[in-house]
Structure 1
Amino acid sequence: MNKIFKLAMLSTTATALLLSAVQAQETVVWWDFLGGGDGVRMKSLIERFNTEHEGEITIEGTTLEWGTPFYSKVQTSSAIGEGPDVMTYHLSRVPLGVDSGALAEISTDDLAAVGLGADTFASANWEAGQSDGKQYAVPFDIHSIVLYYNKDKLAEAGLLGEDGKPTGLDGADNFMAALEQLQPNSEYALSLQTSGDGTPWRVFYSLFGQQDGVFLGEDGTFLPDDSIPKAVSAVETMASWVEGGFAPALTEYEGSVALFTSGAAALHMNGVWEVPTMTDLAAKGELGFEWGAIAIPTFFDHPATWADSHGFAIPSNGGKEMTPEKKAAVFEVIAWMNKNSLAWADAGHIPAYSPTRDSEEFKTMEPNATYSVLADTAVFDPKSTLAGVASPVYDAVANYIAPAMNGEMSPQDAIDEMKADLQDQAD
């Protein structure tokens, strides 16, 4: 009997210990929208995190469709308290996320507890995660557009310096002269998306930012009168590349990439996220030329380049409070991802976390290190519920700026109609 009692006690103790271990492990429900090379790298990071935190924290990850479907799902799920514990989020979408009530405010004390704060990120990047001075997202990277180049073609045209990087491209006139030098030995001197919204917006906003243009005034006016000439100049510059036959007309995103990777174009304007494409093709011996990437040239007054960030946000989930243990686990996830973001830089991104960006390991990572100056010259999307990824601003670019690039309407008309369209939606 005594033996049976002891066995029962041992069994009860073992069960209690097991339950205690299970209860001590926090499961963090995670949503992201990352596909392609980004998705592969993020899954690898999640696996590393789970291995290092075995028995303590487990990330339970789900990948949803990028763009509008993701943000619609977040909004509806958060409203009924069924959202994840943490999610990836474009910082350009923060104003709309806050306005719709989908995002929870993030405490600076909670961030400080895991070593994160305003002093660990570039100021513009940190502020891009704010709305009305309150923090709603933590930056993870800075992704911008860059200028990819075919070293062979630039060397042939005398546009490659001794350091192997392009020379003589700054200034709108100099850039046009360079296109003229490159054109004879290429189908196109420059390839970029000239149909749709993505690249046209990113290039326009870069050129506009280089002139200190104001897209959204403090009083809520889109494209205030004194910024209209700057916007027109940006579109005129973009249209001149197509009009001169240096860049292809009415070309979709994928086609613009193919023109460069096939060797048909000497230069290519696109996001840093295409770095893995170039790296992988080169590794397979399928690229056929040496390539590099630099920050977008300075066409106007000073360097400035459109940028956005993948960040981490916490849904409001109908006001449901996290347990202290869950909250600690969520912030450990956010901090760990930033502190291990060198692996994320393999996707072409610039780490948002300053200690990683300033590390010797990152400084020797090419071509990222070459264009990492973008962290200091980045211009983020205007803070508006109409701006950001898959927004009315992007729609307006497809409806007005892209047609102007292709000679289907004048740059002045394009800007006037875009201004009127966005103002009507805002009022």
Structure 2
Amino acid sequence: MAIWQRVQGTFLRLGWGKTGSRVLWMALPLLAALWILLRLISVDAVAKSSTEGASHANGHSTPRAAWHTLYEPSEPLKDEPLGLAPGGKAAAGTKTPAKPPREKPTENGETLFLQTYQLLNAGEHAQAMQVAQTMVERFPNFQLGQFIYADLLASLSGGLHEREALLQHPDVRQRLSQLKAEALQRTRHQDKAFFAGQYPAPVRYLSPNVAQVVLVDAQKSRLYVLANQRDDAGKRSFKVVFDAYVSIGNNGMGKWREGDGKTPAGVYFVQKHLTDPMLPDLYGSGALTLDYPSPIDKEQRRTGSGIWLHGSPSQQYARPPTATDGCVVLANDDMTRLIQLGLKADTPVVIAEQLTWHDAAKAPHLKAPPKAWPEPEQMRKTPGDWQLISAFEWTDKQQNVAVLSHELQTASRTPKRLHSYWVMEGQRWKEVGRPGS
């Protein structure tokens, strides 16, 4: 009975139901769902992702580097399910020695989830219980964490016998599917060391005047911030200084119409920082507004507005991978950390369905502006010395598109910037619009 009371308390902390009957109704299917969740999230799913080919811009395919969790195992993980076998016993073949992280991560819901995940995989169930308990105490609205903790409690009491019948309930099956997707995306988290010496394909050039660039990889449910800095040898390089799990539109990528529930793909720029006293609870701890639709979007007759990077409602730690109206949504603690980076207005934000990374040492164009770019008409008509400070290029609907940013060199502390937008027609670039047009 004591175990059952702890399970009830776990779900009450989530705010699911005010009466005892509703708590019981919610707790039973969720406990059953998690037993299946831990059985379904297998190491095989993570291992398979490492063998997929990455398609590069030049048409060649090279093996993608293996995915690793934040807590990288010292031996290859075996093709065995994670979690507990029926009756609370460790599933056979799951014990794998754990390896300390390369750097101590910022402790949040995700890092605690990954610790629990790794400990379960290593068969260290007592330690997994301790970490899971810390996770739900510190982040009571983290539903994925609550599921794992409830499963560990239920496995001790043998309270999983009803799982087969309860999993026939459509709502339970849908929630299970969402949690499985979130858990799998979080376990695909890559150590920041993976990105050392790499750059994302859409970035063609960044001058020292552009301090940071934000990248969203929808396929991986991940947001990165790259700092444009000098390394120990004095050479300019990119460094991933922030990354976080995100949710995108409930209908995926490729926004075309207002209300279509999709997230746009392209390059946008930060406009404003909005903090929580100014926002409804829907937007969580803060928001960064973006300039969607861009002139390229308008040229292609895309509609809609209000695409932001923002936090989550207070009762929800994070959303499933595809669960927004089109915005890119982070957990509130991640959103707070993102805002604390001090991203300036006009910071570029690349939103891509899938990001491809290249070796920066083999990309001479990153060190100097590409010679083939044309000058925007507005720049030619404005007196002054304009300097190219960023260039992005990608393929959109089988058409090459580009966004260039120039900065007017003046003594002003707030330099004037100009963003121009281009599409490739035949072998020539055509300017398609300007901000405000």
TM-score by length of 2: 0.23
Q: Which has the higher helix share?
A: 1
Higher relative CO (Cα under 8 Å, sequence separation at least 6) belongs to 1
